[in-house]
Each structure stands twice: as structure tokens, then as C-alpha cells.
Amino acid sequence: MIIIGLGNPGAEYEGTRHNAGREAVMKFAKKAGFDGFEFDKKAQALVSVGKVGKTKATLVLPETFMNKSGASAGKFAKGAKKIKDPSTGKSIKAFPEVIVVHDDLDIPLGKAKMSWNKSAGGHKGVQSVLKALGTEAVFRIRIGITPAKASGELKKPDHDTITENFIVAGFKEKEAQELSKVTKKVVDCLEMAISDSPERAMSEYNAVFSNL
């Protein structure tokens, strides 16, 4: 199993919205007792290898900036499988043992969602990974980073603000608490995905995520 946590490298980006996926994978590594991350020069990524139960997992944190994440992902995700797409019945190229963990502007802060074979939705890091792999058929855990009104409507800023001041900004104290709560569930979801299967984790934890 290959787990890719997206974010930007460097201390100045720690705790920012765009690093929610990267930091969730780091917290998973700590809880699961993986050895520390080591820099892989060839892949330009921090890498940690360990086991959950009997299943080996490789954790990858690209050390490129977000929109170049595919350069690292492509070094580890190899040997795509041909599987039948449940929705169309057609044969597709897929990486069913790859999980990409990342932030998502279209999901409310405090929520998350696990998905399979979906488009990048405008996320530059995800676009880079999917392009490198040559398919959208991977699992993803999408962590919400956008505050919502009481009505449920997202308080998404305009494009310029998103790029310059929002996704690379830190969380307010209350927001950080909401993120911490959902991140704990993301860590549990990853544990089940590795020890059991991504399909079971998606089935069970999407209900958990929606009820947070």
C-alpha cells in the first residue's frame, strides 16, 4: 500500500490549510509506530516504511511544492492494474493500492470524504499526481478546509484570496480543533484501509466523516 500525503515542504507551511493531508499522514505514521521519515533524493520525498498488521505500507511526503507532487508519486506507484470499472463495466488502468490524502476546498472544515476514481476538482497537487500515474483510478481521502455557515453554505473566498491568503494560511484556534478531530478519524481510516482494505475503509468511514 502506498499512502501519499500532499502539502508544501518547509517550516513556514506547517499548520496551513494546504498541508492538512501531509500532516494527517505524519500523524498516522506516529500512531502506527512507523520509523521516522527519511529523505529519498531520487524521489524528492520524505519516505517511511512500516506495517499495519501484516500489510506493508510506504508513506510518501513529496518535498516538491504542491503542484509538482506527481514527480514523487510516480517513483513509487508503478505496475498499474487493469480492472473493471463498476460504473461502466469497462476495463480501466488503476492503482487500487494507492491512497492520496489531501486538503479539499469543497468539503466543510471538520468533515472528510474518501473517494475512488474521481477527477482532481481543480486541486493542483492532485492533478499532478493523477497525471503522473496516468489515471484517476486511485483512492483519495479529502480533508475539508473551508469554514461553513450555519446553513451549511461554504464560506469559500474568491480565487485570488484562495491562492494568496487562504490555502497557505494557518487555522484559527477553533478551526484547528475541528481539524484535529477529523484528522484523528482520517488516521483511523488509513489504519483500516491498510490492515483490511480501502473499500471497507471507504464504506465505513464516509459515514463517520459525514456525522462529525
Termini Cα distance of the chain: 27
159 tagged catalytic: no
List the catalytic residue out of 18, 102, 123, 159: 18
Catalytic residue numbers read 18
